[in-house]
Chain A
Amino acid sequence: MNGQGTAGAGREGVMSGNGRGDKLEYRRDYYGGALMCLIGAGAVVQGLHYSFGSLTHMGPGFFPTCLGAILILLGLGIAGTAKRPPMRKTRHEGVPLERTGPEWRGWFCIVASIVAFVVLGNWGGLLPASFAITFISAFGDRDNSWKSALALAAVITLISALVFWWALQLQFPLFAWGRS
């Protein structure tokens, strides 16, 4: 519900690996607190649409409104107590930290694969949907070539037909072109 506005903040937070990460760490609590306040405010506004009632006879809006109010307070608390993390953070030896930048390719492929499953499941059937979710998500990993992705998707599609459609009798047509 609150996704888009804060997604940027979240991804920025991921970047904090080392070095200038400390500053981001510091800001992360502000973003987190603000997000909680936002969700809480949303819950209060939406909760007040339902009847509030009294303590004896609570309406459907009572509980969510209270939760929203508590969440706003907690959000303020989180932002208020945001503190600098300890400076000495990387005490570990051995292999240096792996890439910790934003992983656009992986994120995009995973999200797209689930969307593809829903869309193809509705208009295509089980086989195209299973193939799509495995094939697209496999591309999220840089180590996968299109050959290995294809092989994996083929195996999974076979499993989905054998295990889910045939053995478990899942109510999901194998092919359903054009069904709405």
Chain B
Amino acid sequence: MIGQSLADLWQGFGVALEWHNLMWSFFGVLVGNLIGVLPGMGPLSAISILLPLTYTMHPVAAILMLAGIFYGSQYGGAIGAILLNLPCHPPHAVTCLDGYPMTRAGKGGTALGITMIASFFAASVGIVVMIFASPLLVSIAFKFGPAELFSIMLLGLIAGGTMSSGSPLKGVSMTVIGLLAGVVGTDVNTGVMRFTFGFAELADGVQLVALALGLFGVTEFLRNVNRMHAVGSGVKLSLRDMRPSFRELKQSFWPIVRGTSVGTLFGAMPGTGPTITTFIAYALEKKIARKPERFGQGALEGVASPEASSHSKTQVDFIPTMSLGIPGDPVMALILGALLIQGIQPGPQLITEHADIFWGLIASFWVGNVLLVLLNVPLIQIWVKVLQVPYRFLYPAALFFIAVGVYSTNNSLFEVAEVLVFGLIGAVFVALKFPVAPILLGYVLGPMVEENFRRALLLSHGDLAVFVQQPISACFMAACALLILLQAFFAARATMRKRRGTPSPQQAAAMDEPRENGREPPLAHAEHR
């Protein structure tokens, strides 16, 4: 099987290196990097803004570009975190802790260089894991029936909702809202129009792009307007600054390896988002360090390990998304939605029927990461300039791109209005401290969950016990129950501690979050895991 994988991978490189695919991958990485660097824009907004562009493209090129945007913007986010203490994307909140002090100590270039090396190493490891684990998972996945699929999706939904920071109840309720948003439209089994509120335009359901841009675009602008001002860091970076010394390389080698393994481990679990992964990688480094007090003052390990973990997690996350069709986090849900729009159903059949997409994607990951390194070395000065684009110019322009982008998907102004509605709904939720990212997860999985639930119960003649009688399904159900019990346990323990007056470790960690400028980390509420 491994030989077969390698042969397929060779073909995949052939696909990824075809010049038009390579061009789109390059374009995706470049634009993703650019948008990721812009203050207040994370991978979710970057992918949603560029999603309409991919509709007319060949599916392979489209998915290569989207993946490029994803890790481009992820890397771009690290630049803002390290140089400006602005975590544009929640996982980078940890990078700020040590990255920004390094910048102030004049070692920002080194931090960026190490970040680059860590990301590249971690992504490469993640890709190797993906090459060997995906076919394995697929061979199991072929045995999955509707009951198993429902259980594993339930696990993903519960994990995605509860593993976010803040109240797990709020996360889960947002997931349910997302599921309800997925119900809108024509019921596939009976043809009944559900929740259309009399709009004929809603018969096809809520549009993914409109939902995503409303929740991650308009909501963000409503929240940040007049509260965010770009401030130049005055950092001058040259190529030479980015090259770490041999001693620094040696110092960061093991943290990178540890971060990568943390990321790989957590990537394999559905629903655990990148933010929690980076926090754990950072905590681990701090725990085993000989001088933990160096952390927060510009410790190189505190940059290397979390960045490595988030990148390897990103790669490993693609495994369940592509081989089971079950996204691990909202970004994956968005990419899955894009594939569905292209008429490709990710799942075990994807690897056999669309081998070019799957292996091309894997190969392009690696190609894209090489492009990322090559791009960032000469362009770093430009990114530093881009970081200083004032927000007052940024958001009107972004609003325009959102409006035109959404219009272009179906040439419909109704969908532009949908964006506004979701933006307002999202703003209300954010103001009430609800995480909005799980909505997307619920929305994408909703129709699949309903379909499999119905089918499983049709096959079992209405016997609910089917979910715990079949062994694989029972395992996932047990995992769901365990997760809920653990959450209840932690919640109870936190309450007990508070009564005694000592803050629990989680709260203490939350207080360490970087807010030195008195500025809330943008996007921090859209906690996306």
- A60 contacts which chain B residues (CB < 8 A)? 187, 189-190, 192, 194
Q: Report Cα–Cα, A11/B419, bound state, in Å.
A: 20
Decide: A54 near B226, CB < 8 A? Known: A10-B432, A86-B503, A121-B407: no
Give which listed residue, B169, B399, B517, contacts A113 with CB less than 8 A: B399
Give which listed residue, A92, A137, A149, contacts B516 with CB less than 8 A: A92
Expressed in whole angstroms, the minimum distance between the Cβ of B38 and any Cβ of chain A is 15
Count how many chain A residues have C-beta atoms less than 8 Å from C-beta atoms of the other chain: 91
**Interface window among B73-81, B111-119, B386-394:** B386-394
Q: How many A-B residue pairs have CB under 8 A?
A: 216
Q: Are A74 and B172 in touch, CB under 8 angstroms?
A: yes
Q: In residues 165-209 of chain B, which contact A (Cβ within 8 Å)?
A: 167, 169-170, 172-173, 176-177, 179-180, 183, 187, 189-190, 192, 194-195, 197
Closest B residue by C-beta to A143: B392
Closest B residue by C-beta to A107: B222
**Can you give 30 contacting A-B residue pairs, CB < 8 Å?**
A1-B197, A7-B428, A10-B429, A10-B431, A13-B432, A36-B173, A55-B463, A63-B183, A74-B169, A74-B176, A83-B498, A86-B498, A96-B518, A103-B225, A109-B225, A110-B221, A110-B225, A114-B403, A118-B413, A134-B397, A135-B396, A137-B399, A138-B392, A141-B391, A148-B393, A152-B397, A156-B400, A168-B408, A172-B404, A172-B411
B425 at the interface (CB under 8 A from A): yes
- B177 contacts which chain A residues (CB < 8 A)? 39, 71
- A99 contacts which chain B residues (CB < 8 A)? 226-227
A174 at the interface (CB under 8 A from B): no
Decide: A114 near B416, CB < 8 A? Known: A55-B457, A105-B226: yes
Q: Are A133 and B183 in touch, CB under 8 angstroms?
A: no
Q: Report Cα–Cα, A86/B463, bound state, in Å.
A: 47
Q: Are B403 and A140 in touch, CB under 8 angstroms?
A: no
Interface string of A58-97 (1 = CB under 8 A from B): 1111011001101100110110010100100001111111
Q: Are A35 and B432 in touch, CB under 8 angstroms?
A: yes
Q: Are B408 and A170 in touch, CB under 8 angstroms?
A: yes
Q: Are A71 and B173 in touch, CB under 8 angstroms?
A: yes
A175 at the interface (CB under 8 A from B): no
Give which listed residue, A56, A58, A61, A149, contacts B461 with CB less than 8 A: A56
Q: Report Cα–Cα, A45/B6, bound state, in Å.
A: 55
A41 at the interface (CB under 8 A from B): no
Q: Are A32 and B226 in touch, CB under 8 angstroms?
A: no
Expressed in whole angstroms, the minimum distance between the Cβ of A176 and any Cβ of chain B is 12
Give which listed residue, A6, A92, A103, A117, contacts B428 with CB less than 8 A: A6
Closest A residue by C-beta to B189: A60
Decide: A117 near B227, CB < 8 A? Known: A32-B432, A32-B433, A36-B173: no
Interface centre among A2, A117, A118 (most CB of B within 10 A): A117
- B431 contacts which chain A residues (CB < 8 A)? 10-11, 13-14, 28
- B518 contacts which chain A residues (CB < 8 A)? 92, 94-98
Give which listed residue, B411, B453, B458, contacts A56 with CB less than 8 A: B458
Q: Report Cα–Cα, A91/B390, bound state, in Å.
A: 28
Interface centre among B172, B180, B432, B518 (most CB of A within 10 A): B432
- B457 contacts which chain A residues (CB < 8 A)? 55-56, 58
Give which listed residue, A51, A100, A114, contacts B218 with CB less than 8 A: A114
A111 at the interface (CB under 8 A from B): yes
Expressed in whole angstroms, the minimum distance between the Cβ of A15 and any Cβ of chain B is 10
A146 at the interface (CB under 8 A from B): no
- A68 contacts which chain B residues (CB < 8 A)? 180
Decide: A78 near B169, CB < 8 A? Known: A113-B399, A133-B400: yes
Give which listed residue, A13, A100, A117, A138, contacts B403 with CB less than 8 A: A117
Q: Are B519 and A98 in touch, CB under 8 angstroms?
A: yes
B491 at the interface (CB under 8 A from A): yes
Q: Report Cα–Cα, A24/B112, bound state, in Å.
A: 40
Q: Are A160 and B404 in touch, CB under 8 angstroms?
A: yes
Expressed in whole angstroms, the minimum distance between the Cβ of B524 and any Cβ of chain A is 14
Q: In residues 450-472 of chain B, which contact A (Cβ within 8 Å)?
A: 450, 453-454, 457-458, 461-464
Q: Are A117 and B416 in touch, CB under 8 angstroms?
A: yes
Q: Are A137 and B226 in touch, CB under 8 angstroms?
A: no
Closest B residue by C-beta to A141: B392
Q: In residues 368-422 of chain B, which contact A (Cβ within 8 Å)?
A: 390-393, 395-397, 399-400, 403-404, 407-408, 411, 413, 416-417, 419-421
Expressed in whole angstroms, the minimum distance between the Cβ of B466 and any Cβ of chain A is 11
Q: Report Cα–Cα, A55/B407, bound state, in Å.
A: 40
